[in-house]
Chains A and B, each alone.
Chain A
Amino acid sequence: MNKTEELEKLIKVNLEALIDSPLDMDNEEKWHDFEKRLATHQKESNGNRFWLSNYQRKFGFVAAFAAVFLIILFCSPKTVIGFKNELFTWLGRTSDGDLVISEKYNPKYKEGIFKEISMEEAKGLVVFELKYPQYIPEVFQSPPEISVTSKNEPKSVVSIGFFEGDMLLISKQENVLLLEAVDTYVPENAIVQNIKIRNDLDAVIITLDNSIQVIWTENLIRFTIISRNIKEEEIIKVIEALK
């Protein structure tokens, strides 16, 4: 017999001796007590059942009243319903390396590609504040083509494009996340210059033939202006008028 078996035997023998010991107890008396308790229990149980049916009836009235009240409430045109605000916060880093915390109330972020939408709709789909160029060269008469591409919440790229013949002007805005690295492809024969825009912000201007591209980051938003057959002065005016 190993130690475990020995121990188990010891426990068993002691428990048997303890529990099987005759006690000075009147079992018949206990049985009477049991019968009384059982009768009381069954009486209470029946009472509870009656009470429950009353309760169910009362609950039915309350539920019906609540349903009517809600129908009246929702059908009334004067009804005002308040919702709690949802605050969306995200962290980013400026080109100077400063940490910026941005917030937006009640964003309706949805993943997907949304084309041919209005500026208002675009604003509602992204978590950051969109800017719209207040100045557009006169040559562009048609309304802009606006699209939103959202993937990996809270990331979105918004494109506002103006097109006229062989001229185009596209303003792209995307939110830059913390620790995100972005590579820009620059063709070999392109001219790259650093310029200052919008109150001393650093920007890069890339010129290739009749195309000009300007890139900068402002409050966690990466802006890219893509143009073709538009003069540089005009592009700068567009950038300065982004609000």
Chain B
Amino acid sequence: MEIFKNFYLKYYQKVFVTCLLILKNTALAEDATQEAFIKAYLNIHTLKDPEKFGAWVAAIATKHSINVYNRNKRILCIEEQKLSEQYLEMNNERLYENEPCSEYLVKERTEEILEVIYSLNPLLKQMIILKYYWMLTDPEIAEMLKMPIGTVKSSLFRARKILAKKMKVKYQEEKLIKGEVN
């Protein structure tokens, strides 16, 4: 139990924010996170790679969040604006700290990528988070979510396509400001 507690304390917030991104509701995200940890505790013997504990709980949590989202999608309270503002306040200085971009651009790009990620449907959001934050490979996602690898690949492809399309305009604006485009 003590070992599990250490893992819990290490990953709780990360899993919580992951759920929040899908559910956009603090109470539901908290509930989903706790449920995911309970499932993880009860099924800890099925975890193949202990190093992937966080990703494994996140996969359970995102799956649970999607079920909750589907059950409650008509009555969910949208908190994205609040979360976005909170995020920007906390992270403005950290983002792109090595890149020679102006504060304006950082803020614009951050707002936009957040907006785009929020706009993705829960399944695509789940895939993007598991792939790019939790660093799971496509077969690992497929195994953890118990879905065909083809579905994982096609969902990621779709998500990237949507993100790229929505980001394209901003890239051009950025280049214009930098003077890279004649």
Contact = CB atoms under 8 A, between A and B. Distances in A.
B160 A31 contact: no
A214 to B, nearest CB: 65
A28 B6 CA distance: 11
A21 B34 contact: no
A20 B163 contact: no
A12 interface: yes
B51 to A, nearest CB: 18
Interface in A1-58: 3-4, 7-8, 10-23, 25, 27-28, 30-31, 33-34, 37-38, 41
Given A18-B114, A34-B37, A11 B132 contact: yes
Interface stretch (B7-15, B136-144, B146-154): B7-15
B14 A19 contact: yes
A33 B8 CA distance: 12
A11 B91 contact: no
Contacts of B12: 25, 27, 30-31
Interface residues of B, number: 36
Contact of A15 (B96, B109, B132, B160): B132
Contacts of A41: 38, 42
A11 B113 contact: yes
A7 B91 contact: no
B interface: dominant SS? helix
Given A19-B133, A34-B34, A14 B95 contact: yes
Contacts of A34: 8, 34, 37-38
Contact of B17 (A4, A14, A19, A30): A19
Contacts of B91: 17-18, 21
A19 B132 CA distance: 11
Contacts of B94: 17
Contacts of A17: 87, 91, 94-95, 110
21 contacts: A4-B164, A7-B160, A7-B164, A7-B167, A8-B160, A10-B167, A11-B113, A13-B96, A14-B113, A15-B117, A15-B128, A15-B133, A17-B87, A18-B114, A19-B14, A19-B129, A23-B16, A27-B8, A30-B34, A34-B38, A37-B38
